[in-house]
């Protein structure tokens, strides 16, 4: 009975989010969403970053269903020539389980331009013993037009990797994101992002955060297609960072995400 309920919610989840059409694999870039980015509208540009050695632990709980939860860990460290990062995420349970591991490197090519590349491996398994995996890549870059205005571009699976399944091939999720961050004051930051998933409608993300104190930051956001308001809090205590975010889907209800990080 539990397996039937989980499968029902899984299919409802995919249908309402338009992310399982044409046999596409489910999670894609969304496994990297953290508490900060969820609160700021759910896009990729708002994900917590660090210029020093850091570790981030993250847990997403879509629609309060532990069977669809995503748990991830991210390690970043700067070197003399570039910044390196390792990311691992696991989504689902024995009914439908996804694992994603990526290794990345980014480097500032000038005082205002940064380029990053990641190589990843995706693997899924079903309760029916079906399973598969493939290599894929990610690309991101950012450019500071002004001191308070930054443009960001992120592409998940730009090469269109697929999983071979006998005579057929399962297309992996592909997405293109473009947006930016701009500060109106030292304490206020706005975020905007346009997300285009292959063969799907454009998704808009808008977010705003205000730092009341370093230890307490208020965040709110909105995304469209479907329309989802979001909110959250964050802050830091010395080297410890935290963020908590949530949003409400018009059909499936409340989702939440909590992230904790530590900088050396």
The torsion angles phi and psi of 49, rounded to 5 degrees, stand at -120, 160
User: Which candidate, 149, 213, 218, 153, places its Cα nearest to that of 184?
Assistant: 149
Of 2.40.160.60, 1.20.120.10, 3.40.50.620, 2.60.40.420, which CATH number belongs to 2-263?
Answer: 2.40.160.60
What does the pLDDT profile of the chain (264 residues) look like in tens digits? 444 444 444 444 444 443 333 344 455 677 888 999 999 998 888 888 888 899 999 999 888 777 778 899 999 999 989 999 999 999 887 678 889 999 999 999 988 999 999 999 998 888 777 788 889 999 999 999 888 899 999 999 998 888 877 677 777 888 999 999 999 888 999 999 999 987 788 999 999 999 999 999 999 999 998 899 999 999 999 899 999 999 998 888 888 999 999 998
How far is the CA of 166 from the CAs of 23, 82, 130, 152, 248, in angstroms?
15, 40, 12, 38, 39
**Domains of the chain by residue range:** 2-263
Percent helix, strand, coil in the chain, to 5, is 15, 60, 25
């Amino acid at each position: 009975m539990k397996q039937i309920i989980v499968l029902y919610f899984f299919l409802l989840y995919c249908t309402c989010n338009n992310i399982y059409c044409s046999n596409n694999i489910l999670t894609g870039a969304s496994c990297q969403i953290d508490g900060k980015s969820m609160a700021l509208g759910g896009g990729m540009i708002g994900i917590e970053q660090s210029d020093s050695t850091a570790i981030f632990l993250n847990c997403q709980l879509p629609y309060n269903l532990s069977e669809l939860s995503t748990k991830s860990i991210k390690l970043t460290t700067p070197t003399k020539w570039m910044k390196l990062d390792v990311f691992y995420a696991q989504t689902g349970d024995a009914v439908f389980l996804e694992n994603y591991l990526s290794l990345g490197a980014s480097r500032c090519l000038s005082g205002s331009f940064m380029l990053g590349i990641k190589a990843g491996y995706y693997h899924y398994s079903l309760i029916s013993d079906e399973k598969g995996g493939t290599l894929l890549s990610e690309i991101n870059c950012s450019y500071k037009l002004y001191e308070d205005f930054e443009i960001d571009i992120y592409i998940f699976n730009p090469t269109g990797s697929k999983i071979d399944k006998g005579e057929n091939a399962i297309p992996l999720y592909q997405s293109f994101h473009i947006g930016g961050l701009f500060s109106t004051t030292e304490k206020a930051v706005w975020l905007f992002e346009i997300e285009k998933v292959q063969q799907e409608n454009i998704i808009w993300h808008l977010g705003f955060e205000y730092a009341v104190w370093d230890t307490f930051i208020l965040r709110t956001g909105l995304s469209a297609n479907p329309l989802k308001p979001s909110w959250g809090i964050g802050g830091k205590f010395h080297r410890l960072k935290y963020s908590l975010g949530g949003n409400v889907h018009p059909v499936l209800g409340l989702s939440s995400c909590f992230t904790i990080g530590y900088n050396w």
